[in-house]
Amino acid sequence: MRLTLPDRFRDQIKGLLVDPWDTGLVVLAVSGGSDSTALMHLAAGSMDRRRLHVVTVDHGLRDVADEMALVAAQSTALGLEHSVLNWQWDGQGNLQAAARIGRWAAIAQWAADQPEDVCCMTGHTHDDQAETVLMRLARGSGVAGLAGMQSVGATPTGLRICRPLLQETRTDLRAWLSEHHVTWSDDPSNNDARFDRVKARGMQDALGELGLTSDRLVQTAEHMQAARREMTDYAVMIAQTHITQTAGDVVFPATWSNHGDVAIRLFRHALHFVGGSAGGGDYPPRSDATLALWQAAQNGQGGTLHGCLVNVEDDHWRISREVAATPAPAPWDNLNCDLMWDNRWLLSQVSGAEMQGDLIVRALGDAIKDVPNWRDVGLPRRSLMASPAVVEGETLIAAPIAGHQNGFDARIVADFASFLLCR
């Protein structure tokens, strides 16, 4: 006999969360649609509600007051705290892609502001997985893309993600909600044929007649996930043997007598690692753009991509952060001795040092002229210009990576090999 939906949900979170019953804050990403509404009610019925916090992201693209009110009312009825996060589209790029990245950025920032560890649960379903695989197939994705969404994962900033409903269909979730007299909202954009995901959804019946059912697409994702795990282990071994990391740069061999396909894959992930959130957040650069830059570098030409600057130097390529792609200046909190900058650097005060004043953290940039001995550290000028610096007004206070510490220290929070293992 098949387990009930709540029992299946409990089995999933028991397997996906390190300690699902006792510790840590779990933020539920709830839009008001059927999938995330089911997630909220299932989590409330399975976990300590004091650990749960519901967040809804307002993208500012349409009037969602009624949907927000519904989520707020149901959260209150369940005894859960609810917060609305705001994101504003700048009009650049693909709307749905930008909204997805912006949504994760808003949730990740909320999580970073909390005093305890946070795991984010989403309501992604079996249907979403099938649509994701289909869209990535249409884009010519490789193994990593066709592996679809993972049941557990993390953003580049370290926010843990858990998707306990990936095995459940939208039909089953809606049937369960209806049985329990729970209402949900229908987003009108889910019927907007301008969006790729809506197009993919509309093709499901026709593709099913060819045997390319949603079950088959999800099965493909499972096969690709297994292949991806093997490839990742191999890629890490090759990276540790052939690739070096120097401060914030990744240094890549210019020639590869073997491992050519793996080398291109590592090149793409190196761009993702160095580019950080400004380069695309959870996603590496597109395969076609990566291949074009790879071929240019093979011909001795560098270039920029994904917030990175690639320079061809003798027998190697150096992948550095592009200064223009570093974050906007951020205030230094004198009461907090650590600050994460550019999603890669942990900036901290040296023990015993006391700094006062309105300090700002930003890229060193042209202020490198105020560090006369920067050449002594052995890193290229362009690399140091993208490293973190502390300033007060126009006065440079510290540039730790350039050799001007003055009471501050900076380090990369993870190495490239560890980053690969999280992909």
Residues 162-178 have pLDDT tens digits of 999 999 999 999 999 99
Q: How far apart are CA 192 and CA 1, in angstroms?
A: 39
At residue 408, what are phi and psi to the nearest 5 degrees? -125, 155
pLDDT value, residue 18:
59
Please give the single-letter amino acid code of residue 200: A
What are the domain boundaries of the chain? 5-217, 243-423
- Nearest of 243, 226, 157 to residue 417 by alpha carbon: 243
Residue 120 has pLDDT above 70, yes or no: yes
Min mean pLDDT across 67-76, 126-135, 283-292 is at 283-292
CB 72 within 8 A of CB 82: yes
Summarize the confidence of residues 16-20 as an average pLDDT.
Answer: 65
Residue 278 has pLDDT above 60, yes or no: no
**How do strand 244-246 and strand 408-412 relate by DSSP bridges?**
unpaired
Residue 295 has pLDDT above 90, yes or no: yes
Summarize the confidence of residues 307-334 as an average pLDDT.
Answer: 90
pLDDT value, residue 155:
75
Residue 95 has pLDDT above 70, yes or no: no
Residue 280 has pLDDT above 60, yes or no: no
The pTM score is: 0.69
Q: How far apart are CA 343 and CA 335, in angstroms?
A: 20
DSSP 361-374: EEE-GGGGGG-TTG
Residue 93 has pLDDT above 80, yes or no: no
Contacts by residues 170-176 (CB-CB < 8 Å, ≥ 24 positions apart): 170/34, 170/35, 170/125, 170/126, 170/127, 172/5, 173/5, 173/34, 173/35, 173/38, 173/125, 174/34, 174/38, 176/5, 176/38
pLDDT in tens, 214-256: 899 899 999 999 998 888 888 889 889 999 999 889 999 988 8
Q: How far apart are CA 62 and CA 187, in angstroms?
A: 10
- pLDDT-derived band at 141 (thresholds 50, 70, 90) equals confident
Q: How far apart are CA 187 and CA 354, in angstroms?
A: 52
Min mean pLDDT across 23-27, 91-95, 142-146, 158-162 is at 91-95
Q: What percent of the chain has pLDDT over 90?
A: 48
**Widest CA span in the chain:** 74
CB 236 within 8 A of CB 423: no
Q: How far apart are CA 351 and CA 4, in angstroms?
A: 55
pLDDT value, residue 168:
97
**How do strand 160-162 and strand 118-121 relate by DSSP bridges?**
parallel
pLDDT value, residue 356:
64
Summarize the confidence of residues 87-116 as an average pLDDT.
Answer: 79
- pLDDT-derived band at 121 (thresholds 50, 70, 90) equals very high
Fold of 5-217: Rossmann fold (3.40.50)
- pLDDT-derived band at 338 (thresholds 50, 70, 90) equals confident
Average pLDDT, the chain: 86
- pLDDT-derived band at 405 (thresholds 50, 70, 90) equals very high
